[in-house]
A and B are shown apart, each in its own frame.
Chain A
Amino acid sequence: MIEVENLTKTYGGARGINDITFSVDKGEILGFLGPNGAGKTTTMRILTCFMPATSGSARVAGYDVFEDSLSVRREIGYLPETVPLYTDMQVPTYLRFVAGLKEVPFREIKKRVEKIMEQVGLTHMAHKFIGELSKGYRQRVGLAQALVNDPQVLILDEPTIGLDPKQIIEIRSLIRGLGGERTIILSSHILPEISMISQRVIIIDEGKVKAIDTPEKLMQQLHATDKIRARIAGPCDSVKQALEKIDGVKNVELIEDTGGITNGYMLEFSDGFDGSHMVARTAVEGKWDLYELTPVKMTLEDIFIRIVTEEEV
């Protein structure tokens, strides 16, 4: 549905994005992850035909963004990062204006606008001018205008920023519900959000793609060692030695030195091997009491930090 090849954009010599290649299948939700200034907005602006790339090509819904921009623009709904709206218009008036421009049939405009306002929770703001709305409500209007013509492709630049927690949950599930039929690209700084909503994640930094994969695979690909935290009552040194002998253990660290008999250990396994049962067995064999055995999964956040800082795992 979306194919991006060697996309590069320079701002008068300064880096925007550099040689970005990826593709998104129909019905897929792709998350864009990256620190400030990574190039997320730049990529989205090229995909939405707001500005051209310096080189490389991008196709959306089968149309080239440069050659056939009007056809691309018919197929997309775009929520820009800054949510630029006409502050001097009332909410329904604005949405009817957008619906009109987005070729919703005349007779359906009113109905579509009512439905979308309900969907994003704007119905009780119908009488307000957009300029009078709070940030979160403006965000909802922005989302509503992107969705108003029911486009096949949605490009959402930080869609949940500025929303209250309840609304964040609602909007997330709304976006997730939109996937399946629609192809969605969204960017966010909130890592759990990205891994929750999207089927695949692109991590970009300094204008370059650092990794693309499903949130789960991404962890494996990075030899994301699963860690286990254990609290075991026993002589510190012998417990540690016994734990280190377990197959697949890369490293054992004493993390909770109480000075007494019960200490906490952090075990690091390689290749995602889950050795919980081995830890339990070791404790039993040594006749030590096992107080805690908790798998510690590496979060996407850890991965993200590792990737962008390019630390060896």
Chain B
Amino acid sequence: MRNFFFILMKELRSYFNSPVAFVVVTIFSVLTGYYFYNIFATFSTISFQAQTNPNLASQYGALNVTELVIRPFFGIISVVMLIMLPMLTMRSFSEEKKAGTMELLLTFPVRDGEAILGKFAGCMGIFAIMLGLSIPSMILVEVFGDPEWGVIITGYFGLFLMGSAFISLGIFMSSLTENQIIAAVLSFAALLLLYMVGYTASLAGGVMERVLEYASFNFHFRNFAKGVVDTSDMIYYLLITMLFLFLSMRSLESKRWRG
């Protein structure tokens, strides 16, 4: 617990001391902010026109800000997460291996689990800041529209869970190699694959369809984006998180196996 705390503090400090966190957080905010501006502006234009043109209004059904702005916004955040989180996690163990600091870290009286959880929590902290910076956009929606806050809250909760799965996978990839680029590429590829299997599920059909759907990241986000917290979705993200934290532990331990 104590060691976890010290490692977490060290991780956060080194994120803030290096430009990595700054660049990742800024780019995340700029990309998601730009997208938000676009959909929100489009929505405003449509709803403005709808006020004068009842035909248009009926065409779009009830012009629902949650449906037209919030949900796509969450969708884009999850895509940007997919791209940016591997940039955040790639350094966690690869950098230490490359610099040789792993030699000291592994000879300190620290359990592998404490080191991994400390690094995981550090990434989660930066990720929370990333997500937090998108909250002003939600407030903007509240000022100009009437969003469903239930959906916003479950959406953020879902994103947070999804992010924890992404981060734990990224940390595992980073524990495999001393090359940060390889760690990032491996995580990105794995995440993309887990993201895409949902789209290809319907092609498979039958049991395979269910399996692929269940395995995919975005399938489990759908309910969160509708304001519904389904335990099976929560369990999915938590399972993925725990699986990769466990694998990272094995990966660190393997250095101490006799070979």
A binding-site residues for B, Cβ under 8 Å: 45, 48-54, 66, 69-70, 73-74, 76, 78, 80, 82, 84-89, 93, 97-98, 100-103, 145
Q: A100 is contacted by which of B6, B102, B259 (Cβ under 8 Å)?
A: B6
The segment out of B37-45, B105-113, B175-183, B186-194 that lies at the interface is B105-113
Tell me which residues from 1 to 51 in chain B have a Cβ below 8 Å from any Cβ of chain A: 2-3, 5-7, 9-10, 13-14, 17-18
Cross-chain contact B103 with A80 (CB below 8 angstroms): yes
Instruction: Give the chain B neighbours of A85 by CB distance below 8 A.
Output: 101, 104
CB–CB A84/B100 < 8 A: yes
B256–A51 CB distance below 8 A:
yes
Cβ of B6 and Cβ of A73 under 8 Å apart?
no
Contact (Cβ within 8 A) A66 B104: no
Chain B residues with CB under 8 Å of A98's CB are 108
- What is the minimal beta-carbon distance from A305 to any residue of chain B, in angstroms? 31
Tell me which of A48, A52, A87 contacts B107 (CB under 8 A): A48
**Contact between A54 and B107, CB atoms less than 8 A apart:** no
Query: For residue B256, which residues in chain A have a CB less than 8 angstroms away from its CB?
Result: 49, 51-52, 66, 69
Number of A-B contacts (CB under 8 A): 76
Q: With a CB–CB cut-off of 8 A, which chain B residues contact A88?
A: 14, 17-18
Minimum CB–CB distance for A47 against chain B, Å: 10
Chain B residues, Cβ within 8 Å of A74: 109
Q: How far is the CA of A80 from the CA of B105 in the complex (A)?
A: 11
Q: Can you list 18 pairs linking A and B with CB atoms under 8 Å apart?
A: A78-B104, A80-B103, A82-B100, A84-B101, A85-B104, A86-B99, A88-B14, A88-B18, A89-B10, A89-B17, A97-B9, A100-B2, A100-B3, A100-B5, A101-B3, A101-B7, A102-B109, A103-B109
Distance from A195 Cβ to chain B, minimum over Cβ atoms (Å): 28
Contact partners of A97 in chain B: CB under 8 A: 6, 9-10
Q: How far is the CB of B134 from chain A (nearest CB, A)?
A: 28
**Interchain CB contact under 8 A, B103 and A84:** yes
Whether B259 contacts A54 by the Cβ 8 Å rule is yes
A50 touches B101 (CB 8 A): no
With A70-B111, A82-B100, A88-B17 in contact, is A50–B106 under 8 Å at CB?
Answer: yes
**A86-B14 in contact (CB<8A):** yes
Please name all residues of chain B whose beta carbon is closer than 8 Å to the beta carbon of A76 when the two chains form the complex.
107
A101, B17: Cα distance in complex, Å: 21
- Given A54-B259, A84-B103; A102-B108 close (CB under 8 Å): yes
Cα of A74 to Cα of B13 in the assembled complex, Å:
25
CB of A250 to closest CB in B, whole Å: 49
Contact A52 B257 (CB under 8 A): yes
Complexed CA–CA distance, A70 and B103 (Å): 14
Bound together, the chains give a CA A52 to CA B256 distance in angstroms of 6
